Amino acid sequence: MKHLTNLILISFILNIAFAKAQTDYSQDITEIESKVIEWRRDFHQNPELGNREFKTADKIAKHLKSLGIKVQTGVAKTGVVGVLKGKRPGKVVALRADIDALPVKERADVAFKSQATGEYLGEEVPVMHACGHDTHIAILMGVAEILAKNNDFSGTVKFIFQPAEEGAPPGEEGGAELMVKENVLKNPDVDAIFGLHISSGQDINTISYKPGGIMAASQSFEIHITGKQSHGSTPWTSRDPIMAAVKIIDGLQTIVSREIPLTQEAAVLSIGKINSGVRSNIIPEEAHIVGTLRTLDYDMQKYINERMKEMVPAIGAAYRTEATISIPEGYPITYNNVDLTTQMIPSLEKAAGKENVKVIKAITGAEDFSFFQKEVPGLYFFLGGKTPGSKEAFPHHTPDFYIDEDGMLLGVKTFIQLTMDYLEN
């Protein structure tokens, strides 16, 4: 009986201590909001493209070092990793934020509007945080500051600031895939990883998630067509690569619309770029097509890939041209570990309130966070960034993309709640 009484007393004391820690976190979370917004605006005004995030990485590293966190720089070219140990041994949780921007010219009317430029495909381009990665950086920096100040917990937290989520420049490696190759999930070995993405179309102070596949596998493909050049006045002396390109694009669209059981899972095939010709009266010799394939089922992906490889050269030959296609592996499906997701749902609900946490259907966007999830159990969720009641939400990757900063604090709170609940339980 005495032994049982002691156990009850110890449990009671630990619960009080844990509750106190949670209260302290809440106070610190509230107090850090202005810093998080200030950091976000700085990154927004000074964006950098993938594998070129030199100033961004330097600011992150300086902040982590100022907190006494062990820092590694130059990971996957420009990534930054911080390791914070709690006062007691335990599991290892990784938290990830992507840090790169996009070649987009900003139109949003904000005081911290980006005027930055960079180089993309050999050309000078405008640069903008048109996907909200600036908010991800600032949120994770806030989490790092709070946990470094209150490190009376079990286990270790690894802060992963990842470059090139939007893709590395042609001819380069980058992003989460390269981080995995460089053992970012090792030493110490990560037990679980959490990631978030701000959503311009979802109300602030809400969270959405889905067990299993939440985002699609993504593949970019390139098609090259070679014909015979001729004068535009005598097309019968040509082998027209533009005509072949039109028919190839038309044919590829029928794979999804006529051969795929879309009631099972979604699939999307889109053409994003066509290059051919120099002037109106010359039928060119070559044409080049670039597109993307999004799938939520690996068997569907395999089938579509095989049909694309059959169809492209066959249609090209039908129009007396030679057509070849290249389909690299791309990003895997962003897959939320079902057991981990089930375990952490109460944490999401504690952070946002049960009424503000919703399960969604899978979307055909893609995320290279999926490379981390192939190695360790992971949970990826969406954080609301839209002002409630606003009439229009501008999509990601567009010049008018806009985020309501009032929703960022929930990101800080949710990351901390997930981390502490996972480590302490």
**Domain at 234, CATH number:** 3.30.70.360
Q: What is the pLDDT along the chain (425 residues), one digit of tens a residue?
A: 545 455 445 444 444 444 444 446 889 999 999 999 999 999 999 999 999 999 999 999 999 999 999 999 999 999 999 999 999 999 999 999 999 999 999 999 999 999 999 999 899 999 999 999 999 999 999 999 999 999 999 999 999 999 999 999 989 999 999 999 999 999 999 999 999 999 999 999 999 999 999 999 999 999 999 999 999 999 999 999 999 999 999 999 999 999 999 999 999 999 999 999 999 999 999 999 999 999 999 999 999 999 999 999 999 999 999 999 999 999 999 999 999 999 999 999 999 999 999 999 999 999 999 999 999 999 999 999 999 999 889 999 999 999 999 999 999 999 999 999 999 98
- The reported pLDDT for the residue numbered 62 is 98
Sole residue written with tokens 């889109």: 270
Q: Is residue 23 part of a domain?
A: no
Q: Is residue 3 part of a domain?
A: no
Domain closes at, from 281, 296, 326: 326
The answer on 242 and 152 residing in a single domain is no
The answer on 247 and 202 residing in a single domain is no
> What residues make up the domain containing 300?
217-326
The distance of Cα 49 from the centroid of its chain, to the nearest Å, equals 14
The answer on 267 and 315 residing in a single domain is yes
Whether residue 213 contacts residue 201, with contact meaning beta carbons closer than 8 Å, is answered with: no
Domain closes at, from 299, 326, 353: 326
What is the token pair recorded at 262? 């879309």
Give one DSSP letter per residue of 68-86, joined into a string: T-EEEEEETTTEEEEEEE-
Whether residue 222 contacts residue 325, with contact meaning beta carbons closer than 8 Å, is answered with: yes
Whether residue 351 contacts residue 417, with contact meaning beta carbons closer than 8 Å, is answered with: yes
The answer on 170 and 43 residing in a single domain is yes
User: Using CA atoms, how far apart are residues 295 and 282, in angstroms rounded to an integer?
Assistant: 38
Whether residue 144 contacts residue 69, with contact meaning beta carbons closer than 8 Å, is answered with: yes
Q: In sequence order, what are the beta bridge partners of 213?
A: 335
Q: Is residue 19 part of a domain?
A: no
User: Using CA atoms, how far apart are residues 224 and 325, in angstroms rounded to an integer?
Assistant: 7
What is the phi-psi region of residue 54: left when phi exceeds 0, alpha when psi lies from -120 to 50, beta otherwise?
Answer: alpha
The answer on 402 and 320 residing in a single domain is no
Is 405 among the residues known to form the active site?
A: yes
The answer on 290 and 233 residing in a single domain is yes
Whether residue 366 contacts residue 220, with contact meaning beta carbons closer than 8 Å, is answered with: no
Whether residue 348 contacts residue 414, with contact meaning beta carbons closer than 8 Å, is answered with: yes
The CA–CA distances, whole Å, from 368 to 158, 160, 276, 308 equal: 18, 13, 31, 24
The set of residues, in sequence order, having a beta carbon less than 8 Å from that of 37 and lying 6+ positions away, is 138, 405, 408
CB atoms within 10 A of CB 329: 10
- The reported pLDDT for the residue numbered 3 is 53
The answer on 97 and 221 residing in a single domain is no
Sole residue written with tokens 């070092």: 65
What is the token pair recorded at 178? 């390269």
Q: Is residue 14 part of a domain?
A: no
User: Using CA atoms, how far apart are residues 241 and 255, in angstroms rounded to an integer?
Assistant: 21
The CA–CA distances, whole Å, from 132 to 53, 146, 228, 395, 401 equal: 15, 22, 46, 11, 9
Q: Name the active-site residue from 25, 209, 319, 331.
A: 331
Q: Name the active-site residue from 33, 286, 405, 424.
A: 405
Q: Is residue 383 part of a domain?
A: yes
Domain closes at, from 292, 308, 326: 326
The answer on 340 and 288 residing in a single domain is no
CB atoms within 10 A of CB 211: 16
Sole residue written with tokens 């309501």: 404
Counted domains in the chain: 2
Is 120 among the residues known to form the active site?
A: no
Closest C-alpha among 377, 395, 336, 356 to residue 198: 395
The answer on 82 and 158 residing in a single domain is yes
The answer on 257 and 146 residing in a single domain is no
- The reported pLDDT for the residue numbered 21 is 42
Q: Which DSSP symbol is given to 102? A: B
User: Using CA atoms, how far apart are residues 198 and 205, in angstroms rounded to an integer?
Assistant: 11
Q: What is the CATH number of the domain that holds 71?
A: 3.40.630.10
The answer on 83 and 145 residing in a single domain is yes
Q: Is residue 155 part of a domain?
A: yes
The answer on 211 and 250 residing in a single domain is no
User: Using CA atoms, how far apart are residues 10 and 341, in angstroms rounded to an integer?
Assistant: 30
Q: Is residue 260 part of a domain?
A: yes
The CA–CA distances, whole Å, from 261 to 250, 303, 308, 366 equal: 19, 12, 17, 21
Q: Where are the beta strands (DSSP E) in 235-353?
A: 267-276, 282-283, 286-295, 322-326, 334-336
Q: Is residue 242 part of a domain?
A: yes
